[in-house]
A = this chain, B = another copy of it.
Amino acid sequence: MEIILNPIGRIESRVDDKRDDDWGGVTAEIILDSAQFTEDALAGLKDFSHVEVIFQFHRAADADTHFAHRHPRGNTDWPKVGIFAQRGKDRPNHLGATVCKIVAVQGFTVKVRGLDAFDGTPVLDLKPVMREFVPERNEIGQPDWATELMKKYF
């Protein structure tokens, strides 16, 4: 069973290198596809502080997709974990999902901060972040390797 999706827009960003870390200060723009939508599709989004961006890591090669467990980022100080216990790009379906701060919404453009994706990335969905969908940070448990990996990420 295949699921066929159509990008709703694309990301414009100055980040087009192989950056792994330091995404927190990056400002990017999501440009909605004006052939499919009107500006109405974004009406009301500016009343939210955060948006979740669902995108596809379009430069990730199928041949690199991991199916079994491995050390995150190849770091042998960290345990081998399965691809569904990691958030890296080399995953089945290559989907990314990141909550970003909304900087501005204007016309077909959503300007955001903290989007960990390269220039040209296809966007599949935008969802407003509602408080009730987010666990309290202090309720979130995670292993030490994840905390260490995330230290420089944003």
**A residues within 8 Å of B by Cβ?**
1-8, 32, 36-38, 40-45, 47-52, 54, 56, 67-69, 79-87, 91-93, 95, 97-99, 101, 122, 124-137, 139-143, 146-147, 150, 153-154
**Residue among B7, B38, B137, B141 making CB contact with A68, cutoff 8 Å:** B38
- A-B contact list, 20 entries, CB within 8 Å: A1-B7, A1-B122, A2-B6, A3-B56, A5-B93, A5-B95, A8-B84, A41-B82, A42-B85, A45-B82, A49-B142, A54-B95, A84-B125, A84-B126, A92-B125, A129-B135, A130-B142, A132-B154, A134-B137, A137-B137
Per DSSP, are chain A's interface residues mostly helix, strand or loop, or mixed? Answer: mixed
Q: Which residues of B contact A131 (CB under 8 A)?
A: 137, 140, 142, 147, 150
